[in-house]
């Protein structure tokens, strides 16, 4: 995978043996791709915060506004759901019979996204409501501190979707030195300002989180799609785990960072 600038027209791509980054909108790029069945779609969708994210001071592109992919970043929840529905309609037919879908969202939209997925896939396709608890972030004197995101996990076929239960070190005295199955609460720290893997991209997720999700839900050698790939964490995690990956993002800076990270892996 060779590095490159963040420019290029819609559908522009840079390849590696196991990862491809496409520059453009999920809605227009995915229909142009000739790829086999997708084993896992992981989409860290815009959170509809009502404000644009900005690259932190000291990072490349510092101060640059990174608008949400559905445009204005001040849209209503109904507009956001319509944006997501249109993209899922072209994505779900690409999933393998054993495939899965994960939508990463937060308190602003998780309730509406779950209703959408129940409608599009069926309530019996729901597998887990995962909670990623991360510790960092602000608090308020008017409410409990918001310290988690939601990841909604659905499958194509509840009888045959791929799943390998991740394991963590047991903490009880009875199971000392052993492991146990991970629960639906993923206690994985978010990236602080000193983290070695930090790129400066404002919505970057830790590789450890994506390694858990991909390792559990995509078979070895399988194909992962991240249609809002941002800084490329999903692609990096997939490459490390021996999975193939496709990333799509319409923002120049996201594409540049993702390509650079893959180039540094020499994948």
pLDDT per position as a tens digit, 41-69: 999 998 655 444 443 333 344 444 334 44
Tell me how far apart the alpha carbons of residues 3 and 80 are, in angstroms, rounded to a whole number: 32
User: Is residue 241, in this structure, part of any structural domain at all?
Assistant: no
Cα 93 to Cα 89, 99, 121, 245, distances in angstroms:
8, 11, 11, 18
Q: What is the full DSSP assignment across 186-214?
A: EE-PPP-TT-TT--S-TTPPPHHHHHHHH
Say if residue 75's pLDDT is above 50: yes
Predicted local confidence at residue 5, as pLDDT: 37
Predicted local confidence at residue 48, as pLDDT: 59
Find how far residue 211's CA is from the centre of its chain.
11
Residues of the domain holding 151: 37-219
User: Is residue 32, in this structure, part of any structural domain at all?
Assistant: no
User: Is residue 240, in this structure, part of any structural domain at all?
Assistant: no
User: Is residue 235, in this structure, part of any structural domain at all?
Assistant: no
Predicted local confidence at residue 118, as pLDDT: 98
Tell me how far apart the alpha carbons of residues 38 and 156 are, in angstroms, rounded to a whole number: 11
- Residue range 129-149: mean pLDDT, rounded: 90
Per residue in 8-37, pLDDT (tens digit) is 445 554 444 489 999 999 999 999 999 889
pLDDT-based confidence at residue 74 (cuts at 50, 70, 90):
low
Lowest mean pLDDT among 72-86, 91-105, 153-167: 72-86
Say if residue 1's pLDDT is above 70: no
DSSP 3-state of 18: coil
User: Is residue 251, in this structure, part of any structural domain at all?
Assistant: no
Predicted local confidence at residue 249, as pLDDT: 97
Per residue in 169-179, pLDDT (tens digit) is 888 888 888 99
CATH at 130: 3.40.50.150
Predicted local confidence at residue 70, as pLDDT: 44
User: Is residue 3, in this structure, part of any structural domain at all?
Assistant: no
Residues 6+ apart with CB under 8 A from 179: 167, 168, 169, 170
Cα 226 to Cα 63, 130, 148, 237, 244, distances in angstroms:
25, 18, 21, 11, 11
User: Is residue 28, in this structure, part of any structural domain at all?
Assistant: no
The average confidence (pLDDT) of the chain is 85
- Residue range 180-200: mean pLDDT, rounded: 91
For the chain, what is the domain count?
1
Q: What is the DSSP letter of 171?
A: -
User: Is residue 134, in this structure, part of any structural domain at all?
Assistant: yes
- Residue range 84-108: mean pLDDT, rounded: 97
- Residue range 74-103: mean pLDDT, rounded: 94
């Amino acid at each position: 995978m060779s590095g490159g600038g963040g420019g290029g027209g819609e559908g522009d791509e840079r390849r590696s043996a196991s990862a491809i980054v496409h520059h453009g909108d999920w809605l227009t790029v995915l229909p142009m791709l000739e790829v086999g069945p997708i084993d896992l779609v992981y989409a860290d969708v815009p959170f509809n915060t009502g404000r644009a994210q900005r690259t932190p001071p000291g990072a490349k592109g510092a101060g640059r506004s990174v608008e949400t992919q559905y445009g204005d970043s001040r849209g209503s929840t109904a507009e956001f759901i319509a944006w997501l529905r249109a993209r899922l309609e072209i994505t779900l037919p690409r999933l393998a019979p054993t495939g899965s879908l994960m939508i990463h969202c937060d308190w602003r939209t998780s309730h509406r996204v779950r209703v959408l997925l129940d409608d599009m896939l069926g309530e019996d396709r729901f597998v887990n409501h995962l909670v990623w608890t991360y510790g960092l972030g602000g608090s308020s004197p008017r409410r409990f501190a918001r310290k988690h995101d939601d990841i909604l996990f659905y499958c194509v076929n509840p009888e045959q979707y791929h799943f390998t239960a991740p394991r963590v070190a047991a903490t009880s005295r009875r199971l000392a030195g052993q492991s146990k199955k991970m629960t639906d609460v993923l206690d994985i720290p978010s990236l602080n300002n000193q983290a070695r893997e930090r790129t400066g991209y404002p919505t970057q997720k830790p590789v450890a989180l994506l390694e858990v999700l991909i390792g559990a839900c995509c078979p070895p050698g399988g194909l992962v799609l991240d249609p809002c790939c941002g800084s490329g964490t999903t692609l990096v995690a997939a490459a490390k785990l021996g999975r193939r990956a496709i990333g799509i993002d319409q923002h120049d800076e996201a594409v540049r960072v993702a390509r650079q990270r893959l180039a540094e892996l020499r994948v």
